[in-house]
Structure 1
Amino acid sequence: MKAPVHRRTKVAAIGAALLITAGATGSAVASGDPGSRGGGQREAAALTGSAKLYRSLGDDITFTFDAHLAAKNTDDPLKATGTFSWSHYLNGKGAWAKARVDCLVTGGKVAVVSGVITDTDLEGAKGTRVGITVHDVGRGDRLGYSWAAQGSPVETKDLPRCVGSAPFEKVAGGSGDFRVVPWNPKL
């Protein structure tokens, strides 16, 4: 026995509505809030990703960030957590370093992060604070670092937290995936 037309129409409409709802929910969950980590609450600020810098001589320079400011610490960028690292090699010579984040401030697509070097093969750099600035513009990201004028992180004695230089270096084409979550402090 065939179901009446109006009953089949209702069943089809309810099925379609359920599919649309499930699809919308799945899309929302998949896209997420750009600043959420796991639980769905937006973190106060973040800088993540990695990239190689462009140098005409062929230097191999890579920076990687995993810096976060939790929502509960919105008013205190000195409570940022995470790490960042970099390496710089040319013709087999160079160094690498890893730092523990001690400050993160972001605004729009610009982030300034600082940290103390915890591990490195650069003599005299361990325990030194460094700062890095990233401009996340998608294609054409830029980066700057506190030791730009001195030539080495070893030379940046007594650097205050959250100090970096203008992002003057260019990211090599196709290598960058920096992501900045803008800070919105309660003012």
Structure 2
Amino acid sequence: MNRRTKTLAVAAAILLTLGAGGIAVASGGDGGHGHATVREAAALTGTAKLYRPAGDDITFSFDAHLAAKDTMDPQAATGTFRFSHYKDGKGGYAVAKVDCLTTGGKVAVVTGVVTETDVDAFRNKRVGISVHDDGKHDRLGYSWVGRDTNLEVPPCLSSAPFEKVQAGSGDFKVLPWQVEYPTE
């Protein structure tokens, strides 16, 4: 066999081997561990502080997930998110139970009903938060911005991610939603 034929044969064998491994991983194969893994439909996790030049301590944390079995129902999402805002010893916090999660690329929108808080304005209210997971320059937005902050927020809705995350504090991770469309 000449050198060119051998090179092509080796390259083809490598591509076939890599392709088969990639197909097993993409289809949720067990990777040789004896149990199949299924990718979540969508997720938003992580914690970050917002940048504020006046020194406000504003933190957002997320643990929101949409199971693979619920791919077509973002309102079946589960988990919690937490936010707090303190300055000069004053402020408050809230914890919300997730009731909707949508993601697209590196952007996520999560809503939830506040179940725990020391701020009366948030008690039992639905709030929405958006995140742009851009590596070192994450951004965040929330539904209580503007003049009328007492608006009823529908599920899966928030403002654009307009706030900057403090450098070095962000570790948001957005798992893109993979919507399954009917083929017929």
What TM-score, normalized by structure 2, do the two folds share?
Answer: 0.77
How big is the shift at 1:39?
6.4
Q: How many residue pairs are counted as aligned between the two chains? A: 149
Runs of 4 or more, structure 1, over 3 Å off, are none
> How big is each residue's C-alpha offset from its partner over 1:149-180, in whole Å with a ceiling of 9 and x where there is no partner?
148xxx33421001111100000000000000
Pair 1:90-2:84 in alignment = no
Paired residue for 2:175?
Answer: 181
Structure 1 75/89 Cα, relative in aligned 2: closer, same or farther at 3 Å?
Answer: same
**1:170 equivalent among 139, 159, 164:** 164
Q: Would the aligned equivalents of 1:67 and 1:82 in 2 still touch at CA under 8 Å?
A: yes
What TM-score, normalized by structure 1, do the two folds share?
Answer: 0.76
Mapping 1:123-142, distance limit 5 Å:
123-142=120-139
Structure 1 186/149 Cα, relative in aligned 2: closer, same or farther at 3 Å?
Answer: same
Paired residue for 2:108?
Answer: 111
CA distance in 2, matches of 1:97, 1:61: 12
Query: Structure 1: any 5+ residue segments left out of the alignment?
Result: 1-23, 29-37
How big is the shift at 1:124?
3.6
Structure 1 134/42 Cα, relative in aligned 2: closer, same or farther at 3 Å?
Answer: same
CA-based RMSD of the aligned residues comes to 1.8
Residue identity in the other structure for 2:40: E
CA distance in 2, matches of 1:140, 1:124: 30
> How big is each residue's C-alpha offset from its partner over 1:11-39, in whole Å with a ceiling of 9 and x where there is no partner?
xxxxxxxxxxxxx9xxx9xxxxxxxxx96
Query: Structure 2: any 5+ residue segments left out of the alignment?
Result: 1-20, 26-34
CA distance in 2, matches of 1:124, 1:176: 27
Q: Percent of aligned pairs with the same residue?
A: 62
Structure 1 157/177 Cα, relative in aligned 2: closer, same or farther at 3 Å?
Answer: same
